[in-house]
Amino acid sequence: MLLLKAEIIRMFRSVSQIWEENKDFLSEIDSRFGDGDHGVTIGKIAGLIGRSLDGWENDDIETFLEDLGDSVMEIGGGSAGPLYGTMIGGLSEPLSGGAAVDAAGLKAMFAGSLSAMEDITKAKVGDKTMMDALIPAVAAAQEAPDDILEILKAAAEAAEKGARESEKYVSKFGRARSYKEQTIGTPDAGAVSTSLFFKGLYKGLRN
pLDDT tens for residues 136-166? 999 999 999 999 999 999 999 999 999 999 9
Q: How confident is the model at residue 36 (pLDDT cuts 50, 70, 90)?
A: confident
Alpha carbons within 13 A on the beta-carbon side of 197: 27
Task: Give the Cα separation of 63 and 172 in Å (integer).
Answer: 35
Q: Is the pLDDT of residue 35 over 80?
A: no
Closest to 192 measured CA to CA, from 34, 64, 9, 77 = 34
At 168 the pLDDT is 92
Chain-wide mean pLDDT for the chain? 93
Q: Is the pLDDT of residue 113 over 80?
A: yes
Instruction: Give pTM, 2 decimals.
Output: 0.95
Percent of the chain with pLDDT over 70: 97
At 188 the pLDDT is 93
CATH 3.20.20.70 for domain 5-206: no
At 65 the pLDDT is 97
The one-letter amino acid at 34:
G
- Over range 95-124, report the average pLDDT: 94
Q: How confident is the model at residue 182 (pLDDT cuts 50, 70, 90)?
A: low
At 177 the pLDDT is 64
- Over range 123-134, report the average pLDDT: 96
At 178 the pLDDT is 60
How far are the Cα atoms of 17, 104, 183, 189 from residue 172, in angstroms, in the given order? 30, 34, 10, 14
- Over range 44-52, report the average pLDDT: 98
At 175 the pLDDT is 65
Cβ-Cβ contacts under 8 Å for 181 (sequence gap 6 or more): 170
Task: Give the Cα separation of 121 and 48 in Å (integer).
Answer: 24
